[in-house]
Structures are given as structure tokens and as C-alpha cells.
């Protein structure tokens, strides 16, 4: 691993959506520049509608950029690639497939040179990781929102991707399971050296998981501030982290940054 060369580089990235009815463009993100080192855990926070999803969609290659650039390992992103997996905010599970078949989906589309036994083993492993063992044969419409979200997480982890793009992956999950999943997430990232770009609305989650927390401003979305988090890992199992003075200060600081922005969303335009 070479920590000097960032794996993801966004350079003056601007993303705009055309509003068809009005013949106007909505600038969702403006001049975002960010470098993510290999193995780094970057968390994006910001008010709803500020462009977080748009940003990771640009990294995954789902959304075209209006200007600027995004590169992954020096290559300009023009479309999705097998090195980047994603957990979707709206789950995006195929409704006609069982849980197991949804989780297995990436194997159908990517030839990773993995044996069938290994594939079956990974499906089992990932489902047990998200506590869905026993629901292999269920269909998404038979699951709760949080369970669907966990299927989405299992699907993203199954290929052991270099880069994990996670869009509020724990938003619909109850507090207990969420804490356990955060710990799993931290363990996976520590063990595999996976790079992760993670979106959340929970400031605690951002501080506990992130090496850096990027606060994005509202309309147009810009990088408002990047906050470094230097607690040693593992943090989830270390009760001293949450009770420390630095933690409280960081929390306050990020809270105020987000609050400023969030209040803008209510101001009307």
C-alpha cells in the first residue's frame, strides 16, 4: 500500500442536474476537491439535499460530471467498475430475487475467478455478518426496511471490493444492531485495508468510524471543512473514546458546522 498516492481524487468536481420542466440547471455540488488515501475511511456529513449522494454517485460512475474530474487510481471515472461497490440509500434490491440471490448478484456480472464453493461460502459469511442467516429464501418485500438495508450491505461486501461507497448504510437499522454493525464495519476496514467513503447523518457515527469527516455545505454543495479524527482503532470496543474530552469537542465542532448549514435549508430561497 502506498499512502502517498491517493486512490480517489476529486478535482474541482461540479455536478448539476437538468430540471426539465423549467429549462434550468440545479448545481448540486460545486468545485469539490478531495483526496482519499488507500485504506482511509472518509465520512461525508451535511444537511439533506446538499449533494452527498451525488458525490459518491460520481465516484461510482453513475452520475456524469458537469466539470472537473474524479479519478480512481489515476484513471478518470467514466462508469462503474468492479473495484467500487456501493450500498444504496434506497436499498435498490431486485424485488423478484430472494435475499440470497440478491447478495449473489455481483458474482453474476463480474468474473472474479472465484470457485462456486468460495462464492457459496462468502454468501453465507456476508449474510451472517449482517445477521440475516435464516432469511436466505425470503423476498425483499417480506423484510423490514432495516433488513433490506442489511441485504444491501451484504451485497456490497461480497466481492471484497477495494473501495466501498456506503450511502447512509445504517440509517434504517435499530440502535443495537447498528452499533454491532459499526463494529463489524470497523473490523472489516482494519483487516482488509478497504478504502471507504461513507455518508451518514449521525455525527457520532461519523466520529467513531471516520479518519476524516468532510462537512458539506448546502446549495451549492461545497467542502465546508474537513475534520481529522485521530482516535486509535479499534474505537467501537473502546469505551474511553466516547467519554473523552476530545470526543465531546469534536462532536460539538461538527455539530455546529452542520447546524449552520441545516438552518440554511429552512431559510427558503
Partner 1 sequence: MVATKNKSLQQFDTDDPDRIQDLGWTFKEVWRRTRGLVVTTLNLITFFILWEVFTIYGDINPLFLPKASDMFAELWVGLTTRAPEGAVFSGSILDHFLHSFNNLMFGLAIACLIGIPGGLLMGGNKYIEAILSPYVWALASLPRIALVPLFILFLGFTTTMQVTIIVISAVFPIMINAWAGVKTTEKSLLAAARVFGANRRQLYVKVVLPYTLPFIISGIQQGIGRGLIGVVIAELFGGSNGLGFLIQRSADTFNTAMTFAVLLLLIVMSLSLINFTRWLEAYVAPWRNVNHL
Contact between 167 and 87 (Cβ < 8 Å): yes
95 binds partner 1 per the rule CB under 8 A: yes
Contacting range for partner 1; rule: CB under 8 A; set: 135-143, 203-211, 225-233, 237-245: 135-143
- Burial label for 9, CB within 10 Å (0-12, 13-18, 19+), is middle
Using the contact rule CB under 6 A, the part of the chain among 43-51, 130-138, 139-147, 253-261 near ligand ATP is: 43-51
Q: Which of 15, 182, 125, 145 is nearest to 136 (CA)?
A: 125
Which stretches of 62-211 are DSSP H helices?
99-109, 116-129, 145-157, 175-192, 203-209
CB nearer Mg ion, residue 53 or residue 195: 53
Site map 23..62 versus partner 1, x via CB under 8 A: ----------------------------------x--xxx
Q: Are 164 and 186 in contact (CB under 8 A)?
A: no
If the CB atoms of residues 53 and 60 are measured against Mg ion, the closer one turns out to be: 53
Can residue 60 be called a binding residue for Mg ion (CB under 5 A)? no
∠199-200-206 over CA atoms, to 5°? 100
Binding characters for ligand ATP, 12-41, by CB under 6 A (x = yes): -----x--------x-x-------------
The three grid cell numbers given for residue 44, joined into one nine-digit string: 461525508
Q: CA–CA separation, 140 vs 101, rounded Å?
A: 11
**Least spacing, CB of residue 107 vs partner 1, in Å:** 9
| Total residue count of the chain as it appears in this document | 269
82 in contact with ligand ATP (CB under 6 A): no
Neighbours of 18 (CB within 10 A): 11
**Which residues of the shown chain bind ligand ATP in the complex (CB under 6 A)?**
17, 26, 28, 46, 48-54, 89
Footprint of Mg ion (CB under 5 A): 53, 89
Contacting residues toward partner 1, per CB under 8 A: 57, 60-62, 79-80, 82, 84-86, 88, 90, 92-96, 105-106, 108-110, 128, 131, 133-134, 139-141, 155, 159, 176-177, 180-181, 184
Amino acid at each position: 500500500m502506498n499512502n502517498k498516492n491517493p486512490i480517489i481524487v476529486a478535482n474541482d468536481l461540479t455536478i448539476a442536474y437538468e430540471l426539465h420542466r423549467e429549462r434550468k440547471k440545479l448545481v448540486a455540488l460545486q468545485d469539490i476537491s478531495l483526496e482519499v488515501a488507500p485504506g482511509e475511511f472518509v465520512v461525508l456529513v451535511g444537511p439533506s439535499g446538499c449533494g452527498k449522494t451525488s458525490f459518491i454517485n460520481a465516484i461510482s460512475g453513475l452520475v456524469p460530471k458537469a466539470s472537473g474530474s474524479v479519478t480512481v487510481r489515476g484513471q478518470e471515472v467514466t462508469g462503474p467498475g468492479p473495484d467500487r461497490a456501493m450500498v444504496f440509500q434506497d436499498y435498490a434490491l431486485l424485488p423478484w430475487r430472494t435475499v440470497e440471490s440478491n447478495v449473489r448478484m455481483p458474482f453474476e456480472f463480474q468474473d472474479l475467478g472465484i470457485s462456486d464453493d468460495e462464492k457459496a461460502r462468502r454468501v453465507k459469511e456476508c449474510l451472517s455478518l449482517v445477521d440475516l442467516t435464516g432469511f436466505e429464501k425470503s423476498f425483499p418485500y417480506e423484510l423490514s426496511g432495516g433488513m433490506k438495508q442489511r441485504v444491501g450491505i451484504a451485497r456490497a461486501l461480497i466481492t471484497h471490493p477495494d473501495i466501498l461507497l456506503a450511502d447512509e448504510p445504517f440509517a434504517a437499522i435499530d440502535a443495537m444492531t447498528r452499533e454491532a454493525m459499526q463494529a463489524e464495519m470497523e473490523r472489516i476496514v482494519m483487516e482488509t485495508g478497504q478504502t471507504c467513503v461513507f455518508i451518514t447523518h449521525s455525527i457520532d457515527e461519523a466520529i467513531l468510524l471516520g479518519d476524516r469527516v468532510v462537512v458539506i455545505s448546502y446549495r451549492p454543495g461545497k467542502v465546508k471543512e474537513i475534520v481529522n479524527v485521530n482516535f486509535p482503532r479499534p474505537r467501537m470496543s473502546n469505551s474511553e473514546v466516547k467519554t473523552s474530552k476530545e470526543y465531546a469537542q469534536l462532536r460539538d465542532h461538527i455539530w455546529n458546522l452542520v447546524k449552520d448549514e441545516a438552518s440554511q435549508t429552512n431559510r427558503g430561497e
